Amino acid sequence: MEYPQFDKTIHEQTKLKILTYLSSRQTCSFMDIKNGIKLTSGNLSIQLKTLEEKRLVIQKKTIENKKTNTSVKITKEGRKALLEYLIEMESLLSQINLGI
């Protein structure tokens, strides 16, 4: 049996949640993501920084009424990487025989 080589960035639970959340939306605000998947601001900031460094998401910061607003979007590379990850996961799951 061959086992897939999962992308370690995407395989991490919180990053997978973020990419999955973003995959069904055009653009999300930082607060939408934070509230949608129940993360602290600090944790979300760190996760988004890593995803951005890997070019899986893009962050855009604007200032409105003296407040910083951050919008986040999954990139084409991010969508492709997520799809490849899901295909690998599906392949692994198809090999499971629980004997039920």
DSSP 29-72: EHHHHHHHTT--HHHHHHHHHHHHHTTSEEEEEEEETTEEEEEE
Does 3 reside within a domain? no
How many domains does the chain fold into?
A: 1
Mean pLDDT for the stretch of residues 58-86: 94
Cα–Cα distance, 15 to 77 (Å, whole number):
15
Does 52 reside within a domain? yes
Does 57 reside within a domain? yes
Does 2 reside within a domain? no
Phi/psi of residue 25, each to 5°? Answer: -135, 155
Does 19 reside within a domain? yes
- Where in the sequence is the domain holding 68, given as residue range(s)? 8-94
Indicate if the pLDDT at residue 42 is higher than 70. Answer: yes
What integer pLDDT is reported at residue 97 of this predicted model?
A: 73
What integer pLDDT is reported at residue 48 of this predicted model?
A: 98
Does 66 reside within a domain? yes
Cα–Cα distance, 18 to 10 (Å, whole number):
9
Indicate if the pLDDT at residue 2 is higher than 80. Answer: no
Residue 79: give its domain's CATH number: 1.10.10.10
**Identity (one letter) of the amino acid at 32?**
D
Does 99 reside within a domain? no
CA distances from 3 to 6, 23, 90, 93 (A): 9, 25, 11, 10
Does 100 reside within a domain? no
